[in-house]
Amino acid sequence: MNQIIDFLNSIIWSKALVFLCLGAGVYFSILMKFPQVRLVKDMVNQLFKGESSKEGVSSFQSFAMALGGRVGTGNIAGVATAIGLGGPGAIFWMWAIAFLGAGSAYIEAALAQVWKDEMDGEYRGGPSYFIEKGLGQKWYGILFAISAIIAMGFFLPGVQANSIAAAMNNAFNIPPAVSGLIVAGLLALIIFGGVKRIGRAAEIIVPFMAIAYIIVALIIIIFKYR
């Protein structure tokens, strides 16, 4: 299994993917005249003044859901691994990709707003929708949806749950199976409640998580400062 994962990892996370992400970020940033800089004021206004609707979520809930998908194991283990393997210079490239990636992320979010449907009183959308409706490639949209279900349903939650279980076992000697069942139960309560429940949970949990992350990072910097 390790050999299979290493083989797939060498193909997916190759230099081609890095250049593709950088190229897409540069292209869309220039095409949209750098919205990640030009529209900062409007972003802040929409964040606090945007209102929710019966079909969707508020601007802050949307922001919290997006932030919740970005602050996690990757920010801790991933950044530490990058610096450990690539040195301090890795920080520059992470900043560069994050800045340019904001351009492609803006395009993705805009397309999701254009090509979305209302089903059962809630908005449904995402890449699979605008791939099918915008590009007219239904087969590709279906393939993306299947890949997203596998990744988001099995792989990513498994990484997060494993990190939580390992931390709880090391800190409080709680068996991983117990921690895993608790995390799975809480996740099920949120996920099966639909987009609105996910938004409500995110707007409560994510700000606390982000603030705690910043505080812990500052504490480590202060104690490790030389």
pTM for the whole structure: 0.69
Give 183: exposed, middle or buried? Use CB within 10 Å, 0-12, 13-18, 19+: middle
How far, in Å, CA of 7 to CA of 107, rounded? Answer: 31
Packing angle, helices 127-134 and 138-150, rounded to 10:
170
Least confident of 24-28, 72-76, 188-192: 72-76
Match 């340019």 to its residue by tokens. 100
| 3 state DSSP class of 192 | coil
Q: What's the pLDDT at 226?
A: 67
- Please give the share of the chain, as a percent, with pLDDT higher than 70: 93
79-89 confidence digits (pLDDT tens): 878 888 888 88
C-beta of residue 199 within 8 angstroms of C-beta of residue 58? yes
pLDDT higher than threshold 80 for residue 9: no
How far, in Å, CA of 129 to CA of 141, rounded? Answer: 7
C-beta of residue 210 within 8 angstroms of C-beta of residue 67? yes
114-161 confidence digits (pLDDT tens): 888 777 767 778 888 889 888 888 999 999 999 888 887 777 777 778
Task: For the chain, give every domain's residue range.
Answer: 2-223
